[in-house]
Structure 1
Amino acid sequence: MKALILKEINQPVEFEDFENPSAGEDEVIVDLKAAALNHRDVWITKGMYPGVTTPLIMGSDGAGICEGKEVVINPSINWGDNPHFPNKNYHILGSPTQGTFAEYIKVNKQLIFPKPAHLDWETAAALPLGGLTAYRALFTKGQVKAGENVLISGVGGGVALFAFQFALAAGANVFVTSGSQEKIDRAMNMGAKGGVNYKDDNWIKDLKTMAGGFDVIIDSAAGEGFGQLAKTCNSGARMVIYGGSRGNIGKLSPQIVFWKQVSIHGTSMGNDQEFADMLDFVSQHQIIPVVDSVFALEDGQKALERMDAGKQFGKIVLKMGS
């Protein structure tokens, strides 16, 4: 089969022949039709993930045909029986196990779920990792309710856009932040009540003016901005963080947290039931993932470079075949 292969850290991936996978006990083969990128793929190429061994086929998101059925793959492997946190041998598809940037993949049959019928291959492949992470962040941890004010930071990224779309579907009043006015404008056109550029000096003041305050904040950046966001919390607010691209949290007022009874939640990925619930939610509300761009599998290096540049709005997808 053809695959994108990472042979060495800090080197471009190569489009080459790779041995076809062979299914073992409780495993199935998926004939992949599309895959999608996540930031973790770029970070893996840069050696920012521990325990990466090469040659490696990256990729956590994929959709294809398995035993004659259209399916998507749950990239959350070995979560375990406790719904609150994963067990010690938990990992994500695409490292250390071979991933979806290939024509075929073998996975445990428990990771196979029916593809939402309203989605094509590209939008279905865009859904799994980002959709699961956003669903757990918004509903399991954030406990969002219709009519609440929700803030999604860094709109434009895959998880943030899913959280944005899910919150809208749940009937929340959704606001966004971004360092790009173009991305804010696009979110406004999709239904955001307001948005601010976090590069502006008065961005926190502007958020308060727009919304009054927030009941749920979904953040991926952390850093100094997280402490600033806490100033916009309503009493009883839930702050949920699923990433730390801007480093350690700074200047977080404990008085805000305890006087306003603010709860802060960390989250990452999700369990098998949450994946099934996410797919049901997407089907019920006919949500279509936002696809930034589609590349042929052989152009995977160009796709990774676009992801690394951070200019995308939505998911970057790889398409197999013609």
Structure 2
Amino acid sequence: MKAAFFREHGGLDRVEHGDLPEPVAGPGQVRLRIKAGALNHLDIFVRNGMPGIPVALPHVMGSDGAGVVDSVGGGVTRVKAGDEVVLNPGINCGECEFCLSGEHSLCVSFHLLGEHVAGTFAEYVVAPAVNAYPKPAGLSWEEAAAFPLTFLTAWRMLVTKARVKPGESLLIVGIGGGVAVAALQISKLLGLTVFVTSGSPEKLDRAKSLGADGGIDHGKTDFAREVRKLTGKRGVDIVLDSVGKATWKQSIAAAAKGGRLLTCGATTGPDPQTDLGRIFWNQLTVYGSTMGTHAEFAGMLKIFRDGKVKPV
């Protein structure tokens, strides 16, 4: 089969397009003929090499994909050959204490398509049958491939962790990323007032076209101060920061008393300066979040089935 893969970690010049053996669906698995795959920043991290995460080489990248079931392994009744599906890229064991309690993304052996095992940038990919969900009829193949990782991550943070309510306020720090844009779309659907930050005027304009109520150029101003001005010195109920070290101190300062801080990444570094005094005095809650459960994926998928959102 044709695939995009690398034989050693490094830059874009390490990526090859060539032939690899076709995978075979084992018990409990399905094989998809991929119609579309989507690029995430994670793919760049994986290509460059991530400490502590060894991968078998050559490695096929791609966490997100959609396609047609080509074959199924033994015991699979959930889907059949010919079904059009999207993949939940998070793979869990189904047997540990976390899986048995329904917290699949806390699985002791949790891993992702394209990060730890061969991904979707190929003609065929093998995945657990439980990870295959019917493709929303109103989406193109490209749209169906674009949302699983980012929207699932944003959905768990907002709906499960923060338990957002209509009328609350949210600050998204760094609106350029896929999770951030997904969070903007989901939060507007759920009735939140949303402020965003970026160092790019173009990204701020794009965010406003998607419903953002206000945009702050964090390259020109202290965004925490601007948030205080926009909220009558109150701050916002929820802050979503996946930037990390460069912005975390300001994110804490932007939160209202009793506010919630959400993090799902740290692209500028995982060891920020943290004002513990502000956290305990203002009684802030910090939620870490990674991917989501199968139930959350199904819940997130419903907004696409109902035509309420389209990935951008």
Equivalent residue runs for 1:1-322 within 5 Å:
1-10=1-10, 11-49=13-51, 50-66=53-69, 67-78=81-92, 80-84=99-103, 86-212=106-232, 213-284=235-306, 286-290=308-312
Runs ≥4 in structure 1, deviation > 6 angstroms?
A: none
- Structure 1: runs of 5 or more not aligned: 291-322
| CA 9–251 in structure 1, closer or farther in 2 if over 3 Å, else same | closer
Is this contact kept in 2: 1:169–1:285, CA < 8 A? no
* Structure 1 residue matching 2:305: 3-state secondary structure: helix
Where 1:264 maps in the other structure, the secondary structure is: strand
Q: Offset at 1:53?
A: 2.2
Tell me the distance in 2 between the aligned counterparts of 1:12 and 1:178.
31
Deviation at 1:183, TM superposition (A): 0.1
Q: Distance in 2 between matches of 1:35 and 1:107?
A: 14
Q: Is the 8 A contact 1:226 1:249 kept in 2?
A: no
The 1:83–1:234 alpha-carbon spacing in structure 2 relative to 1, beyond 3 Å, is: farther
Between the aligned partners of 2:22 and 2:176, the Cα distance in structure 1 is 35
Secondary structure of the corresponding residue to residue 231 of structure 1: helix
Distance 1:147 1:285 in 2: 23
Deviations 1:100-150 (A, max 9, x none): 001111111111001122211111100111111111111111211111001
**Distance in 2 between the 1:120 and 1:236 partners?**
41
Name the amino acid aligned to 1:234.
Answer: A
DSSP-derived class of the 1:223 partner: coil
C-alpha contact (below 8 Å) 1:118/1:286 kept by paired residues: no
Aligned identity (percent) is: 41
TM-score (norm 2): 0.89
Work out which structure has the larger RCO, using CA pairs closer than 8 Å and 6 or more positions apart in sequence.
1
**Deviation of residue 278 (structure 1)?**
0.9
* Count of residue pairs brought into register by the alignment: 290
Alpha-carbon deviation of 1:54? 0.8
Pair 200,81 (structure 1): closer, same or farther in 2 beyond 3 Å: farther
User: 1:50-94: per-residue Cα shift (whole Å, max 9, x none)?
Assistant: 212210111100001122221100101006223455122110111
Q: Is the Cα–Cα contact under 8 Å of residues 89 and 112 in structure 2 kept in the other structure?
A: yes
Question: Which deviations, in whole Å up to 9, do the C-alpha atoms of 1:264-290 show, x marking residues without a partner?
Answer: 011111111111111113333521001
Q: Distance in 2 between matches of 1:168 and 1:249?
A: 31
Distance 2:298 2:129 in 1: 14
What is the deviation of 1:256? 2.1
1:224–1:249 contact (8 Å) kept in structure 2: no
2:74 matched residue in structure 1: none
In structure 2, what residue type is equivalent to 1:59? G
Note the C-alpha offset of 1:195.
0.9
Change (3 A) 1:249 1:83: farther
Determine if contact 2:245/2:273 at 8 Å carries over to the other structure: no
| TM-score, length of structure 1 as denominator length | 0.86
Specify the SS of the correspondent of 2:60: coil
SS of the aligned residue for 2:84 comes to: strand
